[in-house]
Amino acid sequence: MKSYAKIPTPVSVTPPWQWPPFGSLRHEIDRLFDEFDQSFWRSSFPRLGARSDLGLRSSGLVVDVAEHEKDYEITAEVPGIDQKDVEVKIANGLLVIKGEKKREAEEKGKDYYLSERHYGTFERSFQIPSGVDADKIEASFDKGVLKVTLPKSPDAQKTAKTIPIKPA
């Protein structure tokens, strides 16, 4: 008599990333990364159009952008960098912040000599919004923090007008 092995009934196996708690988490993470591209940064700062020529993370420059009633303010943290190693300029409708960090260390011991050199550059560019008085842009540097103020022209400072809504 022949004996046959019982063939199991096929079972649908759901991959772990589709399990209820993980599936929704993966969906949210995918959505976050989809939004985390250049269009996300442009929509976050629509008037300044922030962009980085080296990429936001690789530029080595942490920047905060704020809009106030009378001006825009860009604050950049540049710890360990001297004021003379930072440059702020306007070119082709862009405000460009760039600089270079240089650090050299030398250590001599009885049986050794250690010499280290670290160099790094950063550059960030911002589209200057219409309504900014480019001739009055100012920059200040204090304790590793660069602050650039872009004053709005008087026309750009006008407050928004509220339009009343009438019943139909």
User: What does the pLDDT look like over 25-60, one tens digit per residue?
Assistant: 776 777 776 665 544 444 444 444 443 333 333 355
Cβ atoms within 10 Å, residue 146:
21
Q: Domains in the chain and their CATH numbers?
A: 48-151 (2.60.40.790)
CB 75 within 8 A of CB 107: no
* Residue 57: per-residue pLDDT: 38
Position 142 confidence tier, pLDDT thresholds 50, 70, 90: very high
Q: Cα–Cα distance between 121 and 117 in angstroms, integer?
A: 14
Say if CB 96 and CB 17 are below 8 A apart.
no
- Check: pTM over 0.75? Answer yes or no: no
Phi, psi of 113 (to 5 degrees): -140, 125
A 10 A CB-CB count for 59 gives 19
Average pLDDT over residues 146-162: 83
Token pair belonging to 81: 């960098």
**Segments in 36-89 forming alpha helices (H):** 38-44
What's the rounded Cα separation, in Å, for the pair 146 and 143?
8
Q: Residue 12: how many CA atoms within 13 Å on its side-chain side?
A: 3
